[in-house]
Chains A and B, each alone.
Chain A
């Protein structure tokens, strides 16, 4: 059962334009979401995250939007640069104890290959 899905295996964008990467989830217990960027043969690097108490989080060229009712999140990259070409993974997690201070394991989507053309 794929609880986190990235339905677009690849995305191609022109330099300077907006890249929009999408992610859907099915588990309503998820309350924290992250995006990672990965180059071939390297470990993923953390990009940006969002808690379910927010619907938007921005960091420089990267903005993540969360639509809880649709169980959907998206990552916007504006403007896109050739160096952004990589695989992007979304991930989700939920609280593991009543106090809510400890989070459980991350569940990852399949990834989307972003190619930004000069």
Chain B
């Protein structure tokens, strides 16, 4: 089945630890995105990548890092520098050819304990 797979679905992190959220897509999409959703708020863009080995900061990139070594994969690392990491994280992707619809994965819940 084609789609976007995020793992893990639920993750608990201790204060001061880095954690990495996985995102894999087999849709042959060029661009990939990481968004964050907090209760009562919209989706805010963390990082995005339009081609392999290139990525750009979104609106709230501080405390996060990404890599894009393969077209299919766009992992997000939440570092200890992120002051308020507890949130629902969404990975998305799209084809750059036409239109602008992005497709989302199922999301990952990160809780700092």
Interface residues of A (CB under 8 A from B): 4, 6, 9, 32, 34, 36, 41-46, 49, 89, 91, 93, 101-103, 105-111
Within 8 A of A (CB), among B32-70: 33, 35, 40-45, 48, 50, 58
How many A-B Cβ pairs are below 8 Å? 61
Contact, CB under 8 Å: B40 / A108? no
Known: A43-B106, A44-B90. A49 touches B42 (CB 8 A): no
A115 to chain B, nearest CB (A): 16
Question: Chain B CB within 10 Å — which of A43, A89, A107, A108 has the most?
Answer: A43
Interface size bracket, B side: 20 to 34
Chain B nearest CB from A36 CB (Å) reads: 8
Decide: A32 near B100, CB < 8 A? Known: A43-B106, A44-B90, A105-B58. Answer: yes
The answer to whether A41 touches B88, judged by C-beta atoms less than 8 angstroms apart, is: yes
What are the interface flags for B84-113 relative to A under an 8 Å C-beta threshold, 1 for contact and 0 otherwise? 000010101000111111111111010000
- Shortest CB distance B49–A (Å): 11
Give 24 CB contacts A-B under 8 Å.
Answer: A4-B42, A32-B100, A34-B101, A41-B88, A42-B106, A43-B6, A43-B92, A43-B105, A43-B106, A46-B102, A49-B99, A49-B100, A93-B100, A101-B98, A102-B50, A105-B33, A106-B33, A106-B45, A106-B100, A108-B42, A108-B43, A110-B42, A111-B41, A111-B42
**Contact of B48 with A41 in the complex, beta carbons under 8 Å:** no
